[in-house]
Amino acid sequence: MALVEKKKDAGSIGETLKTVFYAVLIAFGVRTFAYEPFNIPSGSMIPTLLIGDYLFVSKFSYGYSKHTVAFGLPLFEGRVLGKTPERGDVAVFKLPRDNKTDYIKRVIGLPGDTVQMIGGVLHINGKAVQRDRIEDYVAKDSLGRETRVAQYIETLPNGKKHRIIEETDHGALDDTPLYKVPENHLFMMGDNRDNSLDSRVPSMVGYVPVENVVGRAEFLFFSLEDGTRFFEVWRWPFDLRFSRLFNGVN
């Protein structure tokens, strides 16, 4: 009788280990080939993305590299089924400086493009990008006080439209040198133009190798007010941004 029980125990442990193995394998496959969740910790992409947003990034949009593989395993070099991101896409990439830190910005310059900021206005290939003033972007600080920032709709050369905010047209990154995007690289910028560390700062971000792109931001699946942590479930009824749930990322 004791022998039978030991065999049952051994079989039960084996089945548990097999289940765990398959679960890990499926999770690895989904995160590598399909979608991976990310959260937004900074305001560099306001008004498109807010601090506290949680979104899914599609891994298949641009093909696969060592940076798209789950857990960062260096299984191969180069890019498989590679596709260059489109101008205006919002994409997650590994910071070139360390190839580890995840950044999310908008694709502004493609290989061979020239990019420059002049008086707060984006110029691509020598032409000013159209921006149209719309209503102010209104936000509230931690004390509930309203702040207003100038908001524009920017229309990129391929017709892609998105919103940006500008506190001033005379900030540190509103007048830049002329950048020429190298082959197999991208020029990335945040929509919060005066508060974004991006390709305009060569020493910190600079040009982003296409190989470093993790995937394209697709849609929000969760969003909490700034300052509320995900595990603070008791605050969800008050701090959950219901209006942002399942919105696509434009």
Q: Is the peptide bond before 41 cis (omega within 30 degrees of 0)?
A: no
* Amino acid letter, residue 205: V
* For residue 201, pLDDT beyond 60: yes
Instruction: Note the maximum CA span of the chain.
Output: 85
* For residue 20, pLDDT beyond 70: no
Average pLDDT over residues 12-17: 59
* For residue 17, pLDDT beyond 70: no
Whether 105 is catalytic is: yes
Q: Report the DSSP beta bridge partners of residue 4.
A: none
* For residue 31, pLDDT beyond 70: no
pLDDT of the residue at 66: 80
Q: Express each pLDDT in 75-115 by its tens digit.
A: 556 677 678 999 999 999 999 999 999 999 999 999 999 99
CATH code: domain 34-244 is 2.10.109.10
Average pLDDT over residues 220-247: 93
Question: pLDDT-based confidence at 15, cuts 50/70/90?
Answer: low
Question: pLDDT-based confidence at 4, cuts 50/70/90?
Answer: low
Q: Kindly list the domain boundaries of the chain, sorted by start residue.
A: 1-33, 34-244
Four-CA torsion 154, 159, 162, 165, nearest 10 degrees: -10
Q: Express each pLDDT in 50-72 by its tens digit.
A: 999 999 999 988 988 887 775 55
If you search the block for the tokens 């290939």, which residue do you land on? 125
* For residue 243, pLDDT beyond 90: yes
Contact 82, 63 (CB under 8 A): yes
Average pLDDT over residues 123-150: 91
* For residue 202, pLDDT beyond 70: yes
Instruction: Please state, as a whole number, how many other Cβ atoms lie within 10 Å of the Cβ of residue 189.
Output: 23
* Amino acid letter, residue 237: P
* For residue 204, pLDDT beyond 90: yes
- The catalytically annotated residue of 44, 58, 61, 223 is 44
* For residue 29, pLDDT beyond 50: no
By mean pLDDT, which of 18-22, 35-39, 91-95, 166-170 is the weakest? Answer: 18-22
Q: DSSP letters along 45-76, please?
A: TTTTS-TTEEEEEESSSS-EETTTSGGG----
Average pLDDT over residues 31-60: 89
pLDDT of the residue at 9: 56
The structure tokens listed for 67 are: 């940076």
Contact 12, 4 (CB under 8 A): no
- The catalytically annotated residue of 59, 61, 65, 105 is 105
